């Protein structure tokens, strides 16, 4: 996705590279969502180990709620950017100023790229439940439940 944003920023007029960027942008989306769902489900056992209560329904209901909030926010952001970049009321592309285009580029490319990089870094450094760690948590939880 980061490579796609860089291609969008550097080569917006090259249609072949825009197509490559689109493929690079949308392909990882499924893997990112799958990773988020797996990390969320792995946290169920971790929470049970730490608190003694299994809150599977509560934990798994968080993601759809966040999806709905994100959808509403994204629609709002698109509207704000369209107004800020003067891309409303049937605006003619020839009537856009350099400032309007810069406003759009900042909101559509630079800010999302920065957020993706920050999200990657946060996930990379803060999510510590690997497959090995998860197996250890499950084993410890099974032992704890067997002794109780």
- Structure token pair of residue 85: 């970049």
Which residues have a Cβ under 8 Å from the Cβ of 101 and sit 6 or more positions away?
A: 85
Q: Is residue 132 within 8 Å of residue 140, measured between CB atoms?
A: no
> What single-letter DSSP state applies at residue 55?
-
Residue 11, burial from CB neighbour count under 10 angstroms (0-12, 13-18, 19+): middle
50-95, pLDDT tens digit by residue? 888 888 888 788 888 888 999 999 999 999 998 998 888 877 888 8
Q: Are 108 and 4 in contact (CB under 8 A)?
A: no
**Global pTM exceeds 0.75:** no
């Amino acid at each position: 996705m980061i490579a796609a944003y860089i291609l969008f920023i550097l080569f917006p007029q090259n249609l072949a590279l825009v197509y490559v960027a689109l493929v690079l942008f949308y392909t990882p989306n499924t893997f990112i969502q799958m990773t988020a769902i797996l990390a969320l489900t792995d946290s169920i056992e971790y929470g049970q180990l730490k608190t003694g209560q299994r809150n599977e329904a509560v934990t798994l209901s968080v993601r759809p709620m966040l999806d709905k909030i994100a959808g509403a926010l994204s629609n709002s952001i698109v509207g704000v950017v369209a107004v800020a970049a003067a891309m409303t009321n049937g605006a003619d592309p020839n009537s856009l100023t350099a400032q309007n285009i810069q406003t759009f580029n900042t909101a559509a490319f630079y800010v999302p790229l920065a957020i993706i990089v920050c999200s990657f870094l946060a996930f990379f450094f803060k999510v510590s439940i690997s497959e090995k760690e998860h197996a250890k948590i499950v084993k410890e939880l099974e032992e704890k439940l067997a002794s109780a």
